[in-house]
Amino acid sequence: MDRFYSLAHSSIDFHFKQSPRDFVVEEIPLYEFSGEGEHLILFVRKKNLSTNEMVGQIARYLGIKNRDIGYAGLKDKHAMTKQYISIHKQHEEAMDGFNFDAIKIISKTYHNNKIRIGHLKGNRFYIKVKKVNPTSAAKIDEALKNISDAGIPNFFGYQRFGNDGDNHILGEKLAKGEARERNPRVKKLLINAYQSHLFNLWLSRRLEINSLVSSFEAKEIETLLNMPNDEVKKMKAQKHPFKLISGDIMEHYPKGKLFEFEGAEEDLKRFNERDISVTGLLCGKKVKVSSGIAGEIEKDFDDEINADGARRFAWIYPTDVEGRFNPIEAQYEMNFTLPKGSYATVLIEEIAKRKINK
């Protein structure tokens, strides 16, 4: 899939590959742990293991099922990642003897609830890219400033689509009953890939529309997009890099209720101030869809499938963005925090303005 990018600079040349030395993730929990309760909370560091592989190692050691171990989100395999897991307190003494080279228990506490998927606020990243010259470093500096100021599109990263990038193909067949998969977890993963694929196509289309709105006069855009002139003029007047369209579904940021955008100046102001953000469709049942002109665009990336749908933020705001150039090593280091469900590799691709190596 050819993807549109939000930043205006030309492609930046550097080398990036996920590894524990160059890609570090630390989970930010959704809430403070109470320090008491029947669940043992472990802060765990892992290297070159997926979250499921780490959970499997601990479960086998304890003689329990994988589902007895709670975690908030899946972390990258080819990285050094730090995240919280929960197990029943009865296993605390046994865990004192746990020893596995790729897994280290950093600290422990207690809580009265099991950690469940989604129980995280976001993730803090440290990333290093290499073979960076001074000109590229200056462009990365500017890109990070723009990202800190204006945010980025919330694409799904390549990790979502499997090693060959084509999980969505089988996912579509499963979602439409044209194929079968006995493992419910695998089935859900593949169907999610299809939903994510359509979301990415829609988001890329919206960025393309943003580019046209910024580059052409209103009369030209009206013809190019077959869109009413008054709507085009409203889009051109917007300061935000993502141009809202009547009928878009908005959500309070970073979480809250969904509502429809009707062009109100107050909502445009709230969008500029990061109080709300625009959402895209993850197609399926029981989901609110866009209306009006936004709905006409969205329906090209909708599909009737046998799965529940959802809305996903289409535009997010990385925070605590920092960058440092090391001219001696020709390396650039960056730190940033992303909300849950967002991909650091997408941010790197936005900076590079090209696909990056896995």
- Identify the residue with better confidence: 142 or 163: 142
Together in a domain, 3 and 142: yes
pLDDT number for residue 220: 87
Q: Is residue 292 part of a domain?
A: yes
Cα separation, 117 vs 279, in Å, equals 21
What CATH number corresponds to the domain at position 90?
3.30.2350.20
For 307-339, write each residue's pLDDT tens digit. 999 999 999 999 999 999 999 999 999 999 999
Together in a domain, 44 and 191: no
Catalytic-residue membership of 303: no
Q: Is residue 25 part of a domain?
A: no
pLDDT number for residue 218: 84
Alpha-carbon dihedral sign for residues 314, 191, 186, 350: negative
Q: Is residue 215 part of a domain?
A: yes
Together in a domain, 266 and 310: yes
Output DSSP code: residue 253: S
Q: Is residue 26 part of a domain?
A: no
Together in a domain, 224 and 312: yes
Q: Is residue 24 part of a domain?
A: no
**Mean per-residue pLDDT for 227-231?**
90
Which pTM was predicted?
0.93
Together in a domain, 331 and 258: no
Report the candidate in 151, 250, 164, 159 with the shortest Cα–Cα distance to residue 196: 159
Identified catalytic residue from 13, 22, 68, 76: 76
Together in a domain, 266 and 147: no
pLDDT number for residue 273: 96
Q: Which backbone phi and psi does 187 adopt, to 5 degrees?
A: -60, -45
The percent of residues in the chain predicted with pLDDT above 70, rounded, is 99
Answer whether residue 8 shows pLDDT above 90: no
pLDDT number for residue 223: 84
For 236-267, write each residue's pLDDT tens digit. 999 999 999 999 999 999 988 999 999 999 99
**Mean per-residue pLDDT for 339-344?**
95
Per-residue pLDDT band at 221 (split at 50, 70, 90): confident
Answer whether residue 130 shows pLDDT above 60: yes
**Mean per-residue pLDDT for 223-241?**
91
pLDDT number for residue 325: 98
Together in a domain, 165 and 312: yes
Per-residue pLDDT band at 148 (split at 50, 70, 90): very high
**Mean per-residue pLDDT for 58-68?**
96
**Mean per-residue pLDDT for 128-143?**
97
pLDDT number for residue 5: 92
Helix axes 184-215, 167-175, angle to 10 degrees: 110
Q: Is residue 308 part of a domain?
A: yes
Q: Is residue 183 part of a domain?
A: yes
Q: Is residue 211 part of a domain?
A: yes
What CATH number corresponds to the domain at position 349?
3.30.70
3-state secondary structure 58-75: HHHHHCCCHHHCEECCCC
- Number of CB atoms found within 10 A of residue 175's CB: 24
**Mean per-residue pLDDT for 15-36?**
94
What CATH number corresponds to the domain at position 228?
3.30.2340.10
- Number of domains the chain contains: 3
pLDDT number for residue 201: 97
Among 118-127, 155-164, 181-190, 217-226, name the one with the lowest average pLDDT: 217-226
Cα separation, 358 vs 99, in Å, equals 29
Q: Which domain holds residue 349?
A: 1-19+126-151+322-358
Answer whether residue 88 shows pLDDT above 90: yes
Together in a domain, 2 and 90: no
Helix (H) or strand (E) holding 232: helix 229-237
- Is the separation of the CB atoms in 157 and 345 below 8 Å? yes
Together in a domain, 166 and 312: yes
Together in a domain, 134 and 76: no
Answer whether residue 358 shows pLDDT above 80: no
Token pair in block for residue 104: 């280290």
For residues 213, 215, 217 and 220, what is the CA-based torsion angle, rounded to 10 degrees? -80
Together in a domain, 198 and 311: yes
Averaged confidence pLDDT in the chain: 94
Together in a domain, 2 and 143: yes
**Residue 108, Cα to own-chain centre: how many angstroms?**
28
**Mean per-residue pLDDT for 36-40?**
96
